[in-house]
Structure 1
Amino acid sequence: MSGNVPASTRTLRVLTFLATQPGPVPMERISSAVGLPRSSTYHLLRAMIDEGFVVHLPEEKRYGLGVAAFEIGSAYLRHDPLERLARPLLVQLVAEVGQTAHLGVLHGRELVYLLKEQPPRPVTLVTDVGVRLPATLTASGRALLAELPPAQVRALFPSPDAFVRRTDRGPATLTQLRRLLADEKRQGYAVEDSFISPGVTSVASAAVDHAGHPVAAISVTFRTDAVPVSDRHLLAHRTRQAATALTRRLHG
């Protein structure tokens, strides 16, 4: 990084780097990632700590995102234009199918929920706005992963350690994930049955931008025993229609 890069740019690069890490990291990694000398990195981190954007863990000698960064992220979730484009579609979807609908986006290996619309008598779910779940275990996450280039999926999940399980179901290797993504991409939607919570099923489809890159997924979640298997394709079809409508809205 050249010496004439504004301090604001350096600050944003530090925040961006920390946001992509699975946890707090040593100063040396931050310094290397943003191209700053150790002394400059230290002073920049001190200023960011004072403002609440970074937190220092002295026992571990590591730095992570602070509360102020979380507040900015929360504001994004509340005001993102994507939410405004998708909410009417989710409201309509819930009215038609009578089940809970979500809007989710990928963040690294996780699926983050931005919106949740519920019917009058909703099913109790672990999902809510701001909740993060392993992308490989959610229908929304896999609907989005299925639209990514294979090399990008491989980079996200380079080893078995990158896979998480909450029940006894779900892909545990890259080979298993690729097979599942290929099947779901062919059918145009993803299905998750008890990967997150036993007895709960979701179907999801992805919306894409002008370049075909996945932007967000719309999903419908329901109790497994409440919807016959023969009727699930109808929910999947309606979910896919909602995602297609969001794609058109994203294209303007």
Structure 2
Amino acid sequence: MRDRWTADDPEVAAMTTGGTAATRTDVPAARNTLRILSYLAAQRGPVPASTIAAALALPRSTAYRLLGILAEQGFVLHFPEARRYGIGIAAFELSSGFSRQEPIARLGRPILATAVDRIGESAHLAVLHGRDVLYLVEERARRRPSLVTDVGVRLPSHLTASGRAMLAALPAAQLRALFPDRAAFAERGDTGDVHDYAGLRRLLDETRARGYAAEDGAITPGIASVAIAVLDHAGWPAAAIAVTFSRDAVGEERWDTLAGDIRPFAAQLARRISGRSE
């Protein structure tokens, strides 16, 4: 006897009868459910169901039905007074599982090792953690000195190339929330640090115009870095890859080339994080 769900639901039936129909149609309900979650995750706050339906070209009845199921399971929160929907606790738990499994470090480690072999300078992979950067992977090139950017180290994001690359990819509102006043700007001696939000905005404007982030002696005197942000499917900075080198060995005239060498590795990691084929 067939399971009743297989008999009653053509989408489930397609998945359990060789997968031909599922492969051909990608199971519309499942795909639309994931599209709704992805859309909500990319928003700055809860949004009306009508906006979700319009943005995803879904019938309103379909959007409401799927939002109701997601709300029952805790993946979506309904704010009845505002008539809006946002990401729920169950979705947050999924993200926590993502963090526990350290997939970015696992995916990034072999890419970073290859980058160091080809470029010949030390490199690291970092993520934003509040106003800090957290270093997940470090690959040291042969005959290069040890750095302060060891795995597990946190540093103020606005002082590091990795942090600046990721901050430059954030919306203005998010950036302002991270740096609401001068007290948010940690300093490391007299290194030309950014001291306020206006200075940070100018620095990040320069970073976007240049196409990569750089720092020169802000963390360690005589040591400089260039970095490229790794963007996820929604365009948010999931991580950054940076190469660090002696300022005397690599002059500023070579930084553009070095950033160009890093860019394909950042793009490769972005594809892996987003689940796209190589």
The two structures have a TM-score, normalised by structure 1, of 0.68
Question: What is the number of residues matched between the two proteins?
Answer: 178
Alignment of structure 1 residues 27-176 onto 2, 5 Å: 79-168=101-190, 169-176=192-199
Computed over aligned residues only, the root mean square deviation of the Cα atoms, in angstroms, reads 1.7
CA drift of 1:182 comes to 1.2
Equivalent residue runs for 1:6-25 within 5 Å? none
- Which position in structure 2 is the counterpart of 1:34? none
Please show how residues 172-187 of structure 1 align to structure 2 within 5 Å: 172-187=195-210
Could you say which structure has the greater relative contact order, defined with CA pairs below 8 angstroms and 6 or more residues apart?
1
**Is the contact made by 1:167 and 1:198 (CA closer than 8 Å) also made in structure 2?**
no
Asked if the contact 2:140/2:146 (under 8 Å) is kept, the reply is no
The whole-number CA distance in structure 2 between the counterparts of 1:204 and 1:229 is 14
Structure 1, 202-211 or 180-189: larger mean CA deviation:
180-189
Q: Which amino acid aligns with 2:253?
A: S
Structure 1 unaligned residues grouped into runs of 5+:
1-72
Q: What amino acid maps onto 2:270 in structure 1?
A: T
Secondary structure of 1:226's aligned partner: coil
Q: TM-score, normalised by structure 2?
A: 0.61
Deviations 1:48-69 (A, max 9, x none): xxxxxxxxxxxxxxxxxxxxxx
Separation in 1 of the partners of 2:109 and 2:258?
18
2:256 to 233, 236, 240: 233
Which has the higher Rg, Structure 1 or Structure 2? 2
Tell whether the 8 Å contact from 1:140 to 1:205 is kept in structure 2 after alignment. yes
Question: 1:204-223 to 2 correspondence within 5 Å?
Answer: 204-223=227-246
Q: Distance in 2 between matches of 1:87 and 1:248?
A: 15
Instruction: Give the counterpart letter for 2:131 in structure 1.
Output: R
Whole-angstrom CA distance in 1 between matches of 2:112 and 2:258: 13
Q: Percent identity?
A: 51
